């Protein structure tokens, strides 16, 4: 029986963590979906990390929920990543009183959270804002897309702000890969699934795979478009003349042959391929994943509600994958940074036109639908949803064509919902121009820590890099004030 990443993890992490990890591995082997597993997860026994909250300025309703407060309860995460860098000032951190060159063209409308207006082109999301927590003081120091993207996908500061930051195994793993290392997917479903684009800006952006955690923790990744009429992943369906006993016979034979030359001992790639092969065989032995992929099983009206486009159907698929048992589903909005006339959020030109006509309408259709869909199925409390990009956009208008906003890592907003997040919470504030954090600044490290913590993974759990050195999966602190 393959234990996937847990097996791998057992060799690397400290003995104490190892005991917890293997206990959890056992729980998932016993096919105990949802229930029970968290009693053994890495974070719960870890009271020491519970008292190190970063500047908690929110007042929270601690008294009533004393016992639940601070207890992680998400089982899965849907990570929505908008490459290019969405403008914070034109979406959730509106600055109606800022001067002309900063304020922007958009009007504020009131939202479900009193005192927290949103952009006029996000009416549906605004009406639902009381499901969301806003972190308005996220900042870092990477001005280029590739390093900033890596930072946003891993929570690890890149060694350099080099536009062509090289994707080496010294760099950190994607969030989903770290999650996959500690949490197995349920029902043989891969823990980490990512689609439908490979992010690149000149070169493939680092942070989209398992890096030094090894191929076992790589995402199950596909580029097929969930919105296309013939969307399917045929490799998930066994042919009619191969039943499970025949598959078992084949597995036995291949193991017999692999023992002859023992490449698995000699090559990291061969070893990776071997454990991936095992995982593939497990996936084929169950039906949950391939049913989840079949979007035609979904109600057509709901498909319309999500939006009949790649992003909309990708988000719908994310919900189905949560139900199937995946732990981290990463949906990339676009494959490139884009900008005007292309597909991403890099609005150096025509910032307002592009947001108004293309980016915000699609977002406002899809994301609120995802939340209400999760909620109506009783999944929202178990599922943490993150919406963010690699940075925000400059308060000063006037980039390039005079109508754009430039890159702005110094302050931007990250949105979280579900998974125990306290709706309406706001952590941190930006200054009056939206240029720098005015209160409770947090870094991508803290976003990473929050994500891991919400899933019950000790944010400081150690993993081994390629040299066998222990590294914490995050150096940040979870933002616990936004959880109820």
Residue with smaller CB distance to another protein, 84 or 147: 147
Number of residues that bind another protein (CB under 8 A): 68
Identify the helix (H) or strand (E) that includes residue 252: helix 244-261
Three-class DSSP category at 273: helix
CB of 326 to another protein, least distance (A): 12
CA distances from 226 to 64, 77, 308, 316, 405 (A): 43, 19, 9, 9, 31
With CB under 8 A as the contact rule, the residue among 58, 130, 141, 399 that binds another protein is: 141
Looking at residues 428 to 467 of the shown chain, list those that interact with another protein (rule: CB under 8 A): 465-467
Is 277 a residue that touches another protein (CB under 8 A)? yes
State the binding string over 84-123 for another protein (x if CB under 8 A, else -).
Answer: ----------------------------------------
With CB under 8 A as the contact rule, the residue among 53, 61, 105, 235 that binds another protein is: 235
Q: CA-to-CA distance for 349 and 401, rounded, in angstroms?
A: 5
Helical ranges in 4-114 per DSSP H: 4-12, 15-29, 100-103
CB of 166 to another protein, least distance (A): 8
Residue with smaller CB distance to another protein, 29 or 238: 238
Query: 249, exposed or middle or buried, with CB in 10 Å at 0-12, 13-18, 19+?
Result: exposed
CA distances from 238 to 1, 273, 288 (A): 21, 20, 13
CB of 184 to another protein, least distance (A): 14
Q: Rounded to 5 degrees, what are φ and ψ at 210?
A: -80, -15
β-partners of residue 203 are: 201
Report the candidate in 80, 293, 77, 334 with the shortest Cα–Cα distance to residue 182. Answer: 77
With CB under 8 A as the contact rule, the residue among 256, 301, 378, 402 that binds another protein is: 256
DSSP 237: S
Whether residue 198 contacts residue 223, with contact meaning beta carbons closer than 8 Å, is answered with yes
Identify the helix (H) or strand (E) that includes residue 272: helix 268-285
Stretch that binds another protein, among 86-94, 203-211, 303-311, 375-383 (CB under 8 A): 203-211
Q: Is the dihedral of CA 356, 360, 364, 366 positive or negative?
A: positive
Is 159 a residue that touches another protein (CB under 8 A)? yes
Q: CA-to-CA distance for 126 and 110, rounded, in angstroms?
A: 7
Stretch that binds another protein, among 164-172, 318-326, 383-391, 444-452 (CB under 8 A): 164-172
Is 254 a residue that touches another protein (CB under 8 A)? yes
CB of 49 to another protein, least distance (A): 25
Stretch that binds another protein, among 19-27, 53-61, 122-130, 259-267 (CB under 8 A): 259-267
Whether residue 9 contacts residue 182, with contact meaning beta carbons closer than 8 Å, is answered with yes
Three-class DSSP category at 109: strand
Q: CA-to-CA distance for 205 and 228, rounded, in angstroms?
A: 26
CB of 439 to another protein, least distance (A): 15
DSSP 281-311: HHHHH-SHHHHHH-GGGS-HHHHHHH-SSHH
Is 228 a residue that touches another protein (CB under 8 A)? no
Is 258 a residue that touches another protein (CB under 8 A)? yes
With CB under 8 A as the contact rule, the residue among 115, 234, 378, 402 that binds another protein is: 234
CB of 474 to another protein, least distance (A): 17
With CB under 8 A as the contact rule, the residue among 101, 253, 302, 357 that binds another protein is: 253
HSE on the CB side for 221, CA within 13 Å? 16
State the binding string over 322-361 for another protein (x if CB under 8 A, else -).
Answer: -------------------x--------------------
Stretch that binds another protein, among 74-82, 114-122, 199-207, 384-392 (CB under 8 A): 199-207
Residue with smaller CB distance to another protein, 82 or 216: 216
Residue with smaller CB distance to another protein, 117 or 219: 219
| Interface ranges with another protein (CB under 8 A) | 141-143, 159-164, 167, 170, 190, 202-204, 209, 215, 218-223, 234-241, 243, 246, 249-250, 253-254, 256-258, 260-261, 263-274, 276-277, 279-281, 283-284, 341, 406, 465-469
């Amino acid at each position: 029986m393959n234990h996937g990443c847990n097996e791998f993890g057992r060799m690397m992490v400290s003995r104490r963590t190892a005991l917890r990890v293997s206990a959890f591995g056992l729980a998932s082997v016993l096919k105990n979906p949802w229930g029970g597993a968290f009693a053994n997860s890495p974070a719960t026994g870890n009271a020491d990390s519970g008292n190190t909250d970063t500047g908690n300025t929110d007042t929270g309703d601690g008294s009533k929920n004393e016992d639940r407060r601070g207890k992680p309860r998400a089982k899965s995460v849907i990570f929505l990543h908008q490459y290019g860098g969405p403008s914070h000032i034109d979406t959730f951190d509106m600055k109606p009183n800022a001067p002309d060159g900063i304020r922007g063209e958009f009007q504020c409308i009131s939202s479900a959270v009193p005192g927290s207006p949103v952009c006029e082109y996000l009416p549906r999301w605004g009406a639902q804002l009381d499901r969301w927590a806003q972190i308005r003081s996220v900042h870092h120091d990477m001005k280029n897309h590739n390093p900033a993207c890596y930072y946003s996908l891993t929570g690890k500061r890149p060694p350099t702000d080099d536009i062509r930051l090289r994707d080496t195994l010294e760099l950190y793993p994607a969030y989903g890969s770290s999650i996959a290392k500690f949490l197995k997917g349920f029902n043989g479903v891969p823990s980490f699934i990512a689609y439908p684009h490979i992010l690149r800006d000149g070169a493939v952006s680092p942070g989209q795979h398992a890096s030094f955690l090894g191929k076992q923790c790589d995402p199950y990744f596909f580029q097929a478009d969930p919105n296309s009429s013939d969307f399917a992943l045929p490799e998930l369906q066994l042919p009619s003349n191969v039943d499970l006993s025949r598959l078992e016979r084949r597995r036995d034979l291949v193991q017999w042959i692999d023992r002859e030359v023992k490449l698995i001992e000699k090559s990291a790639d061969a070893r990776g391929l071997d454990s991936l092969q095992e995982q593939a065989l497990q996936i084929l032995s169950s039906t949950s994943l391939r049913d989840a992929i079949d979007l035609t099983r979904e109600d057509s009206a709901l498909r319309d509600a999500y939006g009949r486009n790649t992003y909309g159907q990708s988000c719908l698929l994310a919900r189905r994958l949560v139900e199937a048992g995946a732990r981290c589903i990463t949906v990339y909005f676009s494959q490139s940074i884009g900008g005007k006339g292309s597909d991403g959020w890099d609005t150096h030109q025509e910032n307002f036109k592009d947001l108004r006509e293309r980016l915000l309408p699609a977002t406002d259709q899809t994301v609120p639908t995802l939340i209400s869909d999760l909620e109506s199925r009783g999944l929202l409390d178990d599922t943490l949803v993150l919406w963010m990009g690699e940075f925000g956009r400059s308060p000063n208008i006037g980039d390039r064509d005079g109508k754009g906003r430039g890159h702005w890592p110094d302050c931007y907003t990250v949105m979280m919902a579900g998974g125990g997040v306290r709706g309406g919470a706001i952590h941190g504030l930006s200054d009056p121009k939206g240029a720098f954090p005015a209160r409770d600044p947090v870094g991508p490290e803290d976003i990473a820590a929050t994500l891991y913590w919400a899933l019950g993974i000790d944010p400081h759990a150690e993993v081994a890099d390629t040299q066998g050195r222990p590294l914490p999966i995050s150096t940040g602190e979870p933002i616990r004030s936004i959880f109820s």
